Amino acid sequence: MSGYKLKELRGLVKEAQWEANWTDFQKKIKSSMLLESPSYLKEASILKNRYPFKAIFVLGPAGAGKSFLSKQIGIPKDFKVSNPDERIEQVFPAFGISMKFVTKDQNQKEYDIQQISRKIMSNATAGHTANLLMIANPLVFDTTGEDTKKIISRAENLMRLGYDVAIFQVNVPTEVSVDRDKKRKRTVGEPTKIISKAYQEQVVQGKAYMKAESSYPYLKILGGDIYPNLYDLRDGSLLPGITQELVDQIAPNFTPETAKNILSQARSDVESFLTSEPRNPTGVKILAGMKAMVEESGGRYGQNMNDLSFAAKVAQDFPKIKDNPAIVQAIKILEELAGEDGTIQKAMTSGSMQAIKGKKDVDGATVRDLSGDATRQKFEERLTKEAIYKIVQQAIKG
C-alpha cells in the first residue's frame, strides 16, 4: 500500500471516528437532563420564598464583571441565575468540546459541534428557567443585553406575568471586552466586538433601558445609571487594562467618586426591591391564590401556579377552594393572561395550543361552576399545562 493511500485511509478512519464520537455525544446529551421538557419543580415552598415574583437583569458586554458586581450590589443567593454559559462551562469539558469558540473558517466541524451544543444548552436553560418562573422564584438574567428590544420584551412579559423587574447595566470599553474574552477559559470569540459595539450604541448612547423605565411602573433601573466598571473603588485606581483614554472613550468626566455613588445607589435600590411580595398587583393576586391553595390543600397543591389552572380537579378532593376568594381571583388573572395579545397567543403554533387559540373566555365560568365534567373539560382545555408553560416561556424569550 502506498504512503499516499495509507494516509488517505487514516483520514477516512479519523473521519469515521469523528462521526461516531459526534453521534455518541448527541445520544448522551439528548438522554441527559439537558434537554428539558416542561416539568414542574417543587424545590422550594411558596410559603418560604423570600422574594417571590422578582427578576433582575444584569447586562453588559463580555468581561464587564457582571457576576462580581451582582454580589457587590447585594443580590441574594436566593435568586437563581439564568445563564446558559454556566451550563456550557459544566458540560463542554465533560464531552471534550473546546470552550474557545471558533469560526467556520477556522474549523468547520468544531464550529458545528460548538453551535449545536450551545443551542442545546440555551434550550435547556430556557426550560429550567420557565420551571422556576412557574413557582415564582426570584431570578437573575445574566446576559449581554445589546439586543435592547428583545430584553425589553422579556421584561415586559415578566411584568405581565406578575413580576417586579430591575435592570443593572455594566459597561467596559470594547477593546477591554475583547481582550478579557481572549483570556477566559470560555471565549465568545469574534462576536465579542460586535456585541460590545451594539451595546455602546443601543444601551450607552441610546439609553434604551433608561428610557423604558418611565413606561413601566414595575421596572427599576438599579443605580439610576449605567455603571462603567473602570476603577478599583478600594483606592480609586484604574483597573488593569483600563487607561484614561479608554475612560474618556465610554464615560467622559467619569470619576471614582461617581462610580461609588452609582454603586451605592444600586445597593440601596436592591434593598428596596427585595420585598416579601411583589408590588406588581398581578403578582400579588397570583401569589395570594397560590398560598391559599397550599393552605386549603394541606400543602399538596399551589406550589406551582399551574395548579391554579386545575382548580376544578383539585376541588374534587378539597372543595373549600371553590369558595376561596384569593384562589378565584388568581384563576381569573391566569385566564386573562392566557388570552392576552403578546403573551400566549404568540406562542400558539402547534398541537393542543391551536385547539385553545381564539377562545377568549370559558363561557363565563368561574371556579364555582367547575364541578360539572363538561365545564371542567372546557376549562382544562383552555388552561392546560402547556398554555401556562408557554406564558412563562414567552417571558423568557421575548
- The more confidently predicted of residues 308 and 69 is 69
What sign results for the dihedral spanned by CA atoms 89, 90, 91, 96? positive
135-168, pLDDT tens digit by residue? 999 999 988 999 999 999 989 989 989 999 999 9
156 and 182 together in one domain? yes
Q: What CATH number has the domain bearing residue 258?
A: 3.40.50
366 and 234 together in one domain? no
| Amino acid at site 232 | D
Percent of the chain topping pLDDT 70: 61
360 occurs within a structural domain: yes
Quote the cell numbers at residue 12: 477516512
How many structural domains compose the chain?
2
Burial label for 245, CB within 10 Å (0-12, 13-18, 19+), is exposed
Question: According to the model, what pLDDT value does residue 356 have?
Answer: 33
Mean pLDDT (whole number) for 208-231: 97
336-352, pLDDT tens digit by residue? 776 643 332 232 222 23
Calpha distance 290→283 (Å, rounded): 10
Paired strand residues for 192: none
235 and 380 together in one domain? no
Question: Domain ends where: 273, 297, 326?
Answer: 273
Among 206, 187, 191, 260, residue whose Cα is nearest residue 228 = 260
10-63, pLDDT tens digit by residue? 665 566 666 666 566 555 544 443 333 334 444 557 888 999 999 999 999 988
Quote the cell numbers at residue 391: 406564558
Structural domain of residue 248, as residue ranges? Answer: 54-79+138-273
Calpha distance 83→18 (Å, rounded): 29
199 and 246 together in one domain? yes
235 and 301 together in one domain? no
Calpha distance 373→371 (Å, rounded): 7
344 and 374 together in one domain? yes
> Which range is most confident: 79-88, 108-117, 215-224?
215-224
47 occurs within a structural domain: no
65 and 169 together in one domain? yes
41 occurs within a structural domain: no
Burial label for 321, CB within 10 Å (0-12, 13-18, 19+), is buried
CA 150 to the chain's CA centroid: 12
Mean pLDDT (whole number) for 365-386: 47
Paired strand residues for 187: 100
Paired strand residues for 143: 59
236-273, pLDDT tens digit by residue? 999 999 999 999 999 999 999 999 999 999 999 999 99
Mean pLDDT (whole number) for 182-205: 80
Q: Rg of the chain's alpha carbons, rounded to an integer?
A: 24
Question: Domain ends where: 273, 299, 331?
Answer: 273
241 and 260 together in one domain? yes
60 occurs within a structural domain: yes
242 occurs within a structural domain: yes
238 occurs within a structural domain: yes
**Element spanning 167, H or E:** strand 164-171
| Amino acid at site 361 | D
18 occurs within a structural domain: no
Question: According to the model, what pLDDT value does residue 308 have?
Answer: 82
252 and 298 together in one domain? no
SS (H, E, C) 12-25: HHHHHHHHHHHHHH
333 and 214 together in one domain? no
15 occurs within a structural domain: no
Question: Domain ends where: 233, 248, 273?
Answer: 273
Contacts of 20 (CB under 8 A, 6+ apart): none
Mean pLDDT (whole number) for 75-79: 94
68 and 157 together in one domain? yes
203-218, pLDDT tens digit by residue? 999 999 999 999 999 9
265 and 290 together in one domain? no
